[in-house]
A and B are shown apart, each in its own frame.
Chain A
Amino acid sequence: AQSVTQPDIHITVSEGASLELRCNYSYGATPYLFWYVQSPGQGLQLLLKYFSGDTLVQGIKGFEAEFKRSQSSFNLRKPSVHWSDAAEYFCAVAPDYKLSFGAGTTVTVRA
């Protein structure tokens, strides 16, 4: 069965600093890969997705992610964090219509 691991439960980053969130997946083939963000009281919002092709994917809000097949990883990055980026971030994989999520990483942004 596929699984998604987000090793960092909580990350604190200073405003303006860079951010990297880790995601590793376990699956027999390369599934579709996604990053979602969840702000308090809000639904999950898709940041970016990878299906095939260029392994560096650009998303909304200045986020990007890099797919590394050899490491089964799909890490999310942002060069300069804004206070509004404080939220919970979920990595997800989908071999088909069924999304399988990691446990999430909570990001706190300090001034």
Chain B
Amino acid sequence: GAGVSQTPSNKVTEKGKYVELRCDPISGHTALYWYRQSLGQGPEFLIYFQGTGAADDSGLPNDRFFAVRPEGSVSTLKIQRTERGDSAVYLCASSLTGLANNEQFFGPGTRLTVL
């Protein structure tokens, strides 16, 4: 079956611009996660959705970052007024439920470069 997909695979933007990153989770997975992976680091948690609601957004670095999942499936991560420090690979994952013992399946990521 189809795995988690993310679009675009690469995004280059200029400082100050607005970007949207999209995630299509595995069908039927109620839990969706966003992580950010900076160069040479492991992924860092950003936000967790259970269904349509953001159950935990404690990892979002500041109010320039926002994510939605309006119908409980596709999610969009939105970054306003991008900064060079936002350059990273943004990973999306989904799992059947939000229980810790459910495997999280990761997408290939979106590489964001802010010039």
Question: Could you list which residues of chain A lie within 8 angstroms of chain B, going by C-beta atoms?
Answer: 4, 31-32, 36, 41-46, 49, 51, 90, 92, 94-104
Contacts and interface: CB of A to CB of B under 8 A. Distances in A.
Given A43-B3, A98-B56, A51 B45 contact: no
B99 A97 contact: yes
Interface of B: 3-4, 31, 33, 35, 40-45, 48, 55-56, 59, 91, 93, 95, 98-101, 103-109
| CB-based closest 6 A-B pairs | A101-B42, A43-B106, A44-B106, A97-B98, A43-B108, A94-B100
A17 to B, nearest CB: 25
Given A43-B4, A43-B106, A97-B48, A103 B100 contact: no
A99 B40 contact: no
Given A43-B108, A100-B45, 8 more contacts: A41-B108, A43-B3, A43-B105, A43-B107, A43-B109, A44-B106, A90-B43, A97-B56
B100 A32 contact: yes
Contacts of B95: 97
A104 B44 CA distance: 12
B61 to A, nearest CB: 15
A99 B101 contact: no
Given A41-B108, A97-B100, A103 B42 contact: yes
A99 B45 contact: yes
B109 A46 contact: no
Contacts of A98: 33, 45, 48, 56, 59
Nearest to A98: B45
Contacts of B100: 31-32, 94-97
Given A43-B3, A43-B91, A44-B91, A97 B31 contact: yes
Given A41-B108, A44-B106, A49-B103, A92 B42 contact: yes
